[in-house]
């Protein structure tokens, strides 16, 4: 009998993308396999079944795919946090640092309500900059982030420590050493 596949078995690694020396963890191969995708969604949401969560927030862009599926399984609403200029109604924005420069993400200013409990979902946790920006947006709207869930954690880049240092619990299905 063959061993059961893990989520990590479905993730493709592409060397030297987008820059030399980077090992890019490609989750599109996970998404395209029905069993792999189901396994990932089930493992992302498992710590939160029965928890008080009012809304799931997905970070652009692969967090939309995962967050939407998690929200559906938890029977909760879904809210996107998008790159600046992509949302049609009134927004608030949060700038964050990139390796070279800055980026800005936005959320509709009526996307979550004060006091709501929010779960943030994305595919990968590296330095934690995007997730921190998402947390700050949600907190500025008066809601509480009860956790962040990721398929992949790159612990050597410090994102988990950064988010946990903000008091936000982190759940990741798998991790990879290095970049």
For residue 76, give the nearest of 108, 58, 53 by alpha carbon.
Answer: 53
Distances (CA, A) of 109 to 44, 68, 80, 103, 114: 27, 20, 12, 19, 11
Closest CA to 77 of 111, 123, 124, 46: 111
> Interhelix angle for 62-74 vs 34-45, to 10°?
70
Strands (E), the chain: 12-15, 23-26, 55-59, 77-83, 91-98, 101-108, 117-125, 144-153, 170-175
Q: Write out the two tokens for 144.
A: 């509480």
Active site residues: 62, 99
Contact 37, 167 (CB under 8 A): no
């Amino acid at each position: 009998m063959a061993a059961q596949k893990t989520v990590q078995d479905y993730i493709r690694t592409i060397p030297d993308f987008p820059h030399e020396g980077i090992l890019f963890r490609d989750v599109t191969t996970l998404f395209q396999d029905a069993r792999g995708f189901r396994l990932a969604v089930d493992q992302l949401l498992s710590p939160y079944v029965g928890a008080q969560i009012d809304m799931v927030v997905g970070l652009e862009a692969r967090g939309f795919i995962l967050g939407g599926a998690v929200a559906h399984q938890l029977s909760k609403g879904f809210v996107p946090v998008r790159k600046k200029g992509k949302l049609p109604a009134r927004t608030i924005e949060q700038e964050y640092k990139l390796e070279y420069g800055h980026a800005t993400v936005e959320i509709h200013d009526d996307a979550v309500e004060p006091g709501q409990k929010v779960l943030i979902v994305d595919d990968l946790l590296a330095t934690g900059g995007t997730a921190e920006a998402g947390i700050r947006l949600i907190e500025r709207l008066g809601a509480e982030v009860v956790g962040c869930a990721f398929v992949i954690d790159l612990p050597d880049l410090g994102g988990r420590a950064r988010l946990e240092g903000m008091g936000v619990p982190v759940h990741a299905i798998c991790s990879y050493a290095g970049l």
